[in-house]
Amino acid sequence: MISPYTPKLKKFNGATLKSLKNLIVCMWGFHIALNILSVIGKKFEESGIEDLLTESGVYGSNTTLALLKGKSYNCGVHAHKADDGGIVEITVASILQAARKGKGGSSTGRC
């Protein structure tokens, strides 16, 4: 299989196409991160995250679609961090509220 990278790879170490036919070029960190963002976007597709990001004015609709598909690294990481931070804040606030009302935790009051 000849890819767009073949001419550059052919120059590498003076190799010939025959010696490159079994070579696998690995894409590391950046491409893996984009795939992970895409998987997260697919996982939470129906959760309302798109509406949350768009209607809050954080991102426009096209940007939101791109970051949920894993096409925009910086926006995707920022959006998922913001979502995670918001979810953690809400969770902690509800736990504290339940603890103040005496509805949560063990009978000894310890964790």
Residue 106 domain-assigned (yes or no): no
Residue 42 lies in a domain: yes
77 in any annotated domain = yes
Predicted pLDDT of residue 56: 84
The reported pLDDT for the residue numbered 86 is 81
Alpha helices in 1-111 (DSSP H): 6-11, 17-20, 29-43, 49-55, 61-68, 73-101
- Please check whether residue 33 lies inside any domain of the structure: yes
pTM: 0.50
- Residue 92 belongs to what domain range? 28-101
Q: Is residue 93 part of a domain?
A: yes
Tell me the pLDDT of the chain (111 aa) as tens digits.
455 555 665 565 555 666 667 767 666 777 788 888 888 888 887 888 888 888 888 888 898 888 888 888 888 888 878 877 888 888 999 999 988 887 555 555 454
Q: Could you tell me if residue 9 is inside a domain?
A: no
The pLDDT of residue 111 is 46
51, part of any domain: yes
Q: Comparing C-alpha atoms, which of 72, 10, 61, 64 is closest to residue 37?
A: 72
Domain membership of residue 76 (yes or no) is yes
What is the number of domains present in the chain?
Answer: 1
